[in-house]
Amino acid sequence: MGKRLFLFKEKFTGLPAYIILSGWIVFGGFLLMEYAQYDPHLLNHILEIRYPTTALHLVMLLFPFVSTALGYLVNERIKLHKETLSYQEKLESALSSWRATFDSMPYGVMLLDRNFDIFRANDYIARLCAMPVHELAGRKCHDVVGCGIGDTPGVCPMRKSIASLDTETAEYYHKKSNRHFLLQSTPVMGDEGLLSVYSVIDITGLKEKEKKLIQGKDAFFNMLKDLDTSYRELKALFDGLVFAFVNALDAKSRWTRGHSERVTAYALSIAKEMGLTESELETLKTASILHDIGKIGTYDAVLDKPGRLTEEEFALVKKHPGKGAEILKHIKQLEEAIPVIRHHHERIDGSGYPDRLKSEEIPLLARIICVADAYDSMTADRPYRSAPGKEFAVGELKRCSGTQFDPEVVAAFVGLLQPEEP
């Protein structure tokens, strides 16, 4: 009994409980009155069918059940009202949080209908337009923002987003505030139909950085142009000095005039045939032009002697590769060419000079110049003999391939001089 009473109190309180108890109290009072008057014939009296007594009995019998049902309905209505209030509070709290978030966004946000009318705008838009938030509702977004592009289908992001049903963007410069904005429109479906979430994002800082980057890039490219001009000028000066060296050498003897240029042309042709890189070709070109620069220190009488050289004179001539390397050693730009100049008279079998290197010990570029130098010497007049000719020179290259000359270099050069018949 106590448990049932506890459950009743838990389920029904206040007005619903009063209604239910009132019904049962009235019913109880009715039974007591009937009992006092008709006992011991109470049950027969209640069940006796006699108008209007029977109607009264029926009403009194139903009264507690009706009051219980009415109390239950009132209780459910109270519970529903409390739940509604609770949900309303939650909604108001969520709405308040949403409004706080919406208004605290670091960029402008508006909700628009298809006619560009504003449903809602945040504080950022209000500050940008210098008007209260509540006055923005119903206004056209392009009038408020001042972009003036609402009637331009190819520019307005909202028009494009409505057509594409996707997010669209456009950049816009706000003259009044001297700021750049990114306008972004995203279509959403709401109760009122298709709406647009329209964002106004300040990109002035990005634009300024972009401008600085462009200015920095232009300055960098201008610097590169200046460096390129300076490099070309230095390169021209360097090449001029190299040819001045060669001209000084050519001035010593009419027999060797043009020799360095011809050797350079032959050597570059061989190198290209062998597939050398552009960097290697550049080094080879410099080394070929300067390969005999050491002869500047050789007496003119020896270079122009019409007869055979003595052992002492030939020993003097053999010093020119080492002298050339010594003359040029302080020029940093020639550090890759100097070993080539020093060793262009070395032989594959190790019998050359000045260091008696052999085979792969000899730099490849030096082996190429060795072949080109020998060929030009054999196809040009000298004070002590006339030129033997091309056929003799080719024969000597083949005969000395593998001993004096690199076979691979000889094969490449001979292939250029004597191309196979088709």
The model's pLDDT over 224-273, given as tens digits with 9 standing for 90+, comes to 777 777 767 776 766 676 767 666 666 555 556 778 888 999 999 999 99
Instruction: Return the higher-pLDDT residue of 222 and 405.
Output: 405
pLDDT, position 246? 67
> Is the pLDDT reported for residue 52 higher than 70?
no
Mean per-residue pLDDT, 128-154: 68
pLDDT, position 384? 54
> Is the pLDDT reported for residue 383 higher than 70?
no
pLDDT, position 341? 92
pLDDT, position 352? 92
Cα–Cα distance measured from residue 405 to residue 116, given in angstroms and rounded to the nearest whole number: 87
pLDDT, position 118? 83
pLDDT, position 7? 45
Question: Is residue 73 very low, low, confident or very high in pLDDT (cuts 50, 70, 90)?
Answer: confident
Cα–Cα distance measured from residue 197 to residue 316, given in angstroms and rounded to the nearest whole number: 92
pLDDT, position 277? 94
Question: Is residue 98 very low, low, confident or very high in pLDDT (cuts 50, 70, 90)?
Answer: low
Mean per-residue pLDDT, 205-234: 77
Question: Is residue 13 very low, low, confident or very high in pLDDT (cuts 50, 70, 90)?
Answer: low
C-alpha distances (whole Å) from 178 to each of 142, 175, 197, 418 are: 17, 5, 24, 76
pLDDT, position 368? 95
Mean per-residue pLDDT, 107-121: 81
Bond before 16 cis per omega within 30 degrees: no
pLDDT, position 154? 47
| Least confident interval from 41-45, 313-317, 376-380 | 41-45
Instruction: Return the higher-pLDDT residue of 278 and 152.
Output: 278
191 by DSSP, 3-state: which?
coil
Mean per-residue pLDDT, 5-30: 68
| Least confident interval from 134-138, 199-203, 286-290, 309-313 | 309-313
Q: Residues 198, 184: contact at Cβ < 8 Å?
A: yes
pTM assigned to the model: 0.49
The correct answer on CATH 3.30.70.2190 for the domain covering 106-202 is: no
pLDDT, position 370? 94
Comparing C-alpha atoms, which of 341, 360, 356 is closest to residue 409?
360
> Is the pLDDT reported for residue 181 higher than 70?
yes
Percentage of the chain beyond pLDDT 90 is 20
User: Apex CA 342: angle with CA 336 and CA 348, to 5°?
Assistant: 105
Torsion angle defined by CA atoms of residues 9, 12, 16 and 20, in that order, rounded to the nearest 10 degrees: -60
> Is the pLDDT reported for residue 16 higher than 80?
no
Mean per-residue pLDDT, 42-50: 60
Question: Is residue 406 very low, low, confident or very high in pLDDT (cuts 50, 70, 90)?
Answer: very high
- Which residues are 180's β-sheet partners? 173
> Is the pLDDT reported for residue 298 higher than 70?
no
Query: CB burial class (10 A; 0-12, 13-18, 19+) of residue 304?
Result: middle
Question: According to the per-residue pLDDT averaged within each range, which of 16-25, 77-86, 141-150, 175-184 is highest?
Answer: 77-86
> Is the pLDDT reported for residue 170 higher than 70?
yes
- CATH class, domain 252-417, is mainly alpha
Query: CB burial class (10 A; 0-12, 13-18, 19+) of residue 270?
Result: buried
> Is the pLDDT reported for residue 151 higher than 60?
no
Comparing C-alpha atoms, which of 165, 125, 132 is closest to residue 147?
125
Tokens found for residue 226:
């200046």
Question: Is residue 61 very low, low, confident or very high in pLDDT (cuts 50, 70, 90)?
Answer: confident
DSSP 351: -
| Least confident interval from 11-15, 79-83, 140-144 | 11-15
- Which residues are 401's β-sheet partners? 405
> Is the pLDDT reported for residue 360 higher than 50?
yes
Q: Residues 20, 65: contact at Cβ < 8 Å?
A: no
For 263-404, where are the E strands, in sequence order? Answer: none
